[in-house]
A = this chain, B = another copy of it.
Amino acid sequence: MTTECESSEKGPDFNKNNGLLPVIAQDSKTHQILMLAYMNEEAFRETCETGTAVYYSRSRQQIWRKGEESGHVQKVEKICVDCDRDTILLSVQQQGVACHEGYRSCFFREVTTEGLRVIAERIVNPADVYK
């Protein structure tokens, strides 16, 4: 998918949230939620232009081309916005795993009365990916 997007009534409203909008990445086939990250307008534009998910890393304060190092890119099939146009939903084809801890999804732990419980299998050894 390659789409020309603009930050106007046609798309997300980057005047909100100090220009940094939360983005949900959902597996287009299984509908599993893979991760939540953030985009500024530049990241959104590059995502639209390339068809591959590009985020803004709040910790590194720079554009984050997801999978650039690991190869675990996300091919974007569909982009939606919510009613307030301040949250973005990406339907993606995930290469490899979404989580830097080696799980398919970042949401691999359930909150229970006994504390956090891991409910997914680690697929990838992070040490093998980030060298």
Contact = CB atoms under 8 A, between A and B. Distances in A.
A31 to B, nearest CB: 4
A104 B24 CA distance: 17
Contacts of A112: 3
Contact of A109 (B4, B26, B80, B101): B80
Integer count of this chain's copies in the complex:
2
A9 B83 contact: no
Nearest to A119: B80
Contacts of A64: none
A124 interface: no
Given A82-B106, A83-B103, 15 more contacts: A3-B111, A3-B113, A4-B113, A5-B113, A11-B111, A22-B22, A26-B33, A36-B82, A78-B110, A80-B107, A80-B119, A81-B107, A82-B99, A82-B107, A83-B100
By Cβ-Cβ distance, the 10 closest A-B pairs, closest first, are: A31-B31, A82-B106, A10-B115, A80-B107, A79-B111, A36-B87, A89-B107, A83-B106, A11-B111, A22-B22
Interface of A: 3-5, 9-12, 22, 24, 26, 30-33, 35-36, 48, 78-84, 87, 89, 99-101, 103, 106-113, 115-116, 119
